[in-house]
A = this chain, B = another copy of it.
Amino acid sequence: MLAVFWAEEGGLPASDRGLAYGDGLFETILMAGVRGTLVGYHLDRLVRDAGRLGIPVTRAEVQEAYARAASHYGRSRADTRWVLKLILTRGAGGRGYRPDPEMTPNLLVSASAAPPGIPSDGVAVAYSRIPLTVNPLFAGIKSLNRLEQVMAARELDGDVFEVLQSSREGDLVEGTRTNLLLHTTEGWITPPRASLAVAGVMRDWVLERLEARGEIVIERPLLPEDVTGPGCRAFYLLNSVLGVVTVRNLAGQDLPVDSGLATICDPLETLE
Interface residues of A (CB under 8 A from B): 5, 7-8, 10-23, 26, 53-54, 87, 89-90, 95-99, 108, 110, 115, 130-138, 143-154, 156, 176-177
Contacts and interface: CB of A to CB of B under 8 A. Distances in A.
Given A7-B15, A96-B115, A97-B146, 11 more contacts: A10-B11, A11-B13, A11-B14, A11-B16, A12-B19, A14-B108, A19-B144, A20-B26, A95-B115, A98-B176, A145-B147
A131 B23 CA distance: 17
26 contacts: A11-B11, A11-B19, A16-B19, A19-B19, A19-B89, A19-B144, A20-B26, A21-B145, A21-B150, A53-B151, A90-B150, A95-B115, A96-B115, A97-B146, A97-B150, A98-B156, A98-B176, A130-B135, A130-B137, A131-B136, A132-B135, A133-B133, A133-B135, A137-B151, A138-B148, A145-B145
A85 to B, nearest CB: 8
Contacts of A177: 96-97
A118 to B, nearest CB: 14
B22 A146 contact: yes
Contacts of A147: 21-23, 53, 138, 143-145
A20 B17 CA distance: 12
A233 B132 CA distance: 38
Given A14-B110, A16-B19, A133 B134 contact: yes
Nearest to A134: B133
Query: This chain: how many copies in the complex?
Result: 2
A144 B21 contact: yes
A18 B108 CA distance: 14
Contact of A21 (B8, B16, B149): B149
A98 B144 CA distance: 15
A149 B7 contact: no
A113 to B, nearest CB: 10
Contacts of A22: 21-22, 144-147
A13 B146 CA distance: 18
